[in-house]
Amino acid sequence: MTTTAPSQAPAKPPPAESETTVGNYFVANYPPFSFWKPDRVPEVEAALDRPPKPETPLGVYLHIPFCRKRCHFCYFRVYTDKNATAINSYLNLAIQELQLYAARPFIGGRKPQFIYFGGGTPSYLSESQLLNLTGQMKQLLPWDAAEEVTFECEPGTLSDHKLKTIREIGVSRLSLGVENFNDHVLEINGRAHRSREIRRSYHFARELNFPQINIDLIAGMVEETEENWRDCVRQTLELDPDSVTIYQMEVPYNTDIYREMKAQGKLTAPVADWPTKRRWVEYAFAELEKAGYSVASGYTAVKNPERTHFVYRDSLWQGADLIGLGVASFSHIGGTHFQNLQDFEPYLASLRERRLPIYRALTPTTDECLIRELVLQFKLGRVSASYFARKFGVDLLARFAEAFSKLRSWNFLQVDGDCLRLTRDGLLQVDRLVHEFFLPEHRTSRYV
Ligand code: SF4
């Protein structure tokens, strides 16, 4: 039986900010990063010395922090001024970092289930750098059991040769950072690529038979219009990718857009407001559904849900271990979360001394682990109560009775037997709604 809301008239949802102001909207982990502390780094050493819990998958993430240009909305740790010598040093030391991990008991004979090259721009690397890097990674932890190898690309960095190399090293999921198809919108937002490079690289990639090609879009870039957004969706459908990921534009503190706002004394970012961005994603999802895609999360639509998976996301959101290599990378091992040093030189210096470059850590309580998985899995649009009963011994509906009751009264949640499902309206604002599950001490007005 499906129930949406109690019989009385729906209560009004919490007041939502309409304008886009500065701060993080996207919830990437829980507890919030501001609760991860340097004095908890010793907990990492203990986690590395324990054998893995049975059945826990292992993944490897490598952050490639180099880009041709810095996009005005970018809040990642990236560098646009590093030469080949600096990049080679970085890659060699990232391999040393993997070496330090590969010898520790937490590996327990496991091989990675998934590998993810994120950035920054992994496709900024040359073919020889890629071959050398991945050859050494495979020697330390073989990829023969990997179900997925994801590689993020900026279209303007791809040639047919480089794509061939990317395919040959074993990449199975190619993710193209398209963001928008309009050259003026791309330029004004500081993107390095243009629309002709999108089409060229996409067609090269198709010819090489990558098992999965994903296209990233952003709803609400500076100077985005209704008409242009519809055209972006049309052009996406024309390319016919295996999956489409759509982010709603946010403006965190360390972006050029915010620096400009601050200089001009403005509180509102020069981008579409939240209701408009939600409407644009809703339009894109509806058009993709008409073309046979299925909505697989608050940000993704996939063409063939039986065949098209995202192992990295699904494993991490169910508590997989992750070795995060590279500057500012995030890891999770044996119940402890941690982040690497956030600046280039200190990161390299630590590894030159053969020390893991860890900056801050946190070992969440069992209750916080439960909330983490609930929050992250809700981004898929549905959670299974029996999964949480099995894994945490908790009756989800009783433990979060108040939060579920609110979500149902706002018409954002349906309870269908074991399945708790967000309505489309709820899914499009899931990052705002999941705060309802946070412990009181973690409820801040901004997610940091
Ligand atoms: S390409 Fe991605 S990582 Fe690089 S500057 Fe742009 S948004 Fe940031």
Q: What is the 3-state secondary structure (H, E, C) of 335-392?
A: CEEEEECCCHHHHHHHHHCCCCCEEEEECCCHHHHHHHHHHHHHCCCEEEHHHHHHHH
Picking from 315, 333, 357, the residue at the C-terminal end of a domain is 315
Q: Is residue 235 part of a domain?
A: yes
Which of ligand 1's atoms lies nearest the C-alpha of 120?
A: 3
The answer as to whether 332 is a domain residue is: no
At 446 the pLDDT is: 56
The pLDDT assigned to 383 comes to 96
Q: How far apart are CA 415 and CA 2, in angstroms?
A: 6
Is 212 found in the same domain as 115? yes
Domain boundary among 277, 299, 315: 315
User: Which of the listed residues 315, 331, 353 is the one where a domain comes to its end?
Assistant: 315
Phi and psi at residue 221, in whole multiples of 5°?
-70, 165
- Domain contains 360: no
The residue range of the domain holding 190 is 36-315
Q: Could you tell me if residue 301 is inside a domain? A: yes
222 and 310 inside one domain: yes
* pLDDT score at 16: 66
Kindly give the number of the ligand 1 atom that is closest to the alpha carbon of 152.
2
Specify the pLDDT at position 18: 86
The predicted pLDDT at position 25 comes to 80
Domains in the chain, number: 2
CB 44 within 8 A of CB 337: no
The CATH number assigned to the domain holding 173 equals: 3.80.30.20
CA nearest to 165, candidates 131, 116, 136? 131
- pLDDT of the chain along its 448 residues, tens only? 444 444 445 566 665 678 888 788 889 999 999 999 999 999 999 999 999 999 999 999 999 999 999 999 999 889 999 999 999 999 999 999 999 999 999 999 999 999 999 999 999 999 999 999 999 999 999 999 999 999 999 999 999 999 999 999 999 999 999 999 999 999 999 999 999 999 999 999 999 999 999 999 999 999 999 999 999 999 999 999 999 999 999 988 889 998 998 888 988 888 899 999 999 999 999 999 999 999 999 999 999 998 899 999 999 999 999 999 999 999 999 999 999 999 999 999 999 999 999 999 999 999 999 999 999 999 999 999 999 999 999 999 999 999 999 999 999 999 999 999 999 999 999 999 999 999 999 987 555 5
Ligand 1 binding pocket, CB closer than 6 Å: 67, 70-71, 74, 76, 78, 119-121, 154, 177
Whose CA is closest to atom 3 on ligand 1? 120
The percent helix, strand, coil of the chain (3-state, each to 5) is 40, 20, 40
In a shared domain, residues 86 and 27: no
If asked whether residues 287 and 402 sit together in one domain, one would say no
Contacts with 296 (C-beta within 8 Å, 6 or more apart), sequence order: 243, 302, 305, 310, 380, 381
Does residue 192 sit in the same domain as residue 263?
yes
14 vs 3: CA distance, rounded Å: 21
Q: Does 395 lie in the same domain as 309?
A: no
Pairwise CA distance, residues 348 & 430, whole Å: 37
Same domain, 122 and 237: yes
Atom of ligand 1 nearest to the CA of 65: 3
In a domain, residue 281? The reply is yes
* Pocket perturbation via mutation, ligand 1, pick of 62, 70, 123 by most ligand atoms within 8 A of CB: 70
Q: What is the CATH number of the domain that holds 414?
A: 1.10.10.920
CA of 328 to the centre of ligand 1 (A): 15
User: Does 4 reside within a domain?
Assistant: no
Whether residue 26 is found in the same domain as residue 82: no
Residues 437, 342: Cα–Cα separation, whole Å: 29
Residue 373 lies in a domain: yes
Q: Say which residues have a Cβ less than 8 Å from residue 398's Cβ, sequence separation at least 6.
A: none
Residue nearest to atom 8 of ligand 1 (CA): 74
- Look at residue 397 and give its three-state secondary structure: helix
**26 and 81 fall within a common domain:** no
> Of the residues 26, 63, 67, which should be mutated to test ligand 1's pocket, given the most ligand atoms within 8 Å of the CB?
67
Task: Determine, yes or no, domain membership for 183.
Answer: yes
Pair 384, 378: CB distance under 8 Å: no
Do 27 and 40 share a domain, yes or no?
Answer: no
Q: Which two tokens stand for residue 397?
A: 């509906």
Q: Rounded to the nearest whole angstrom, what is the distance from the C-alpha of residue 444 to the centroid of ligand 1?
A: 27
Q: What is the pLDDT of residue 238?
A: 98
Torsion of the alpha carbons at 386, 392, 396 and 399, rounded to the nearest 10: 160
Instruction: Kindly give the pairing relationship between strand 114-119 and strand 148-153.
Output: parallel
* One domain, residues 26 and 52: no
Identify whether residues 167 and 271 lie together within a single domain.
yes
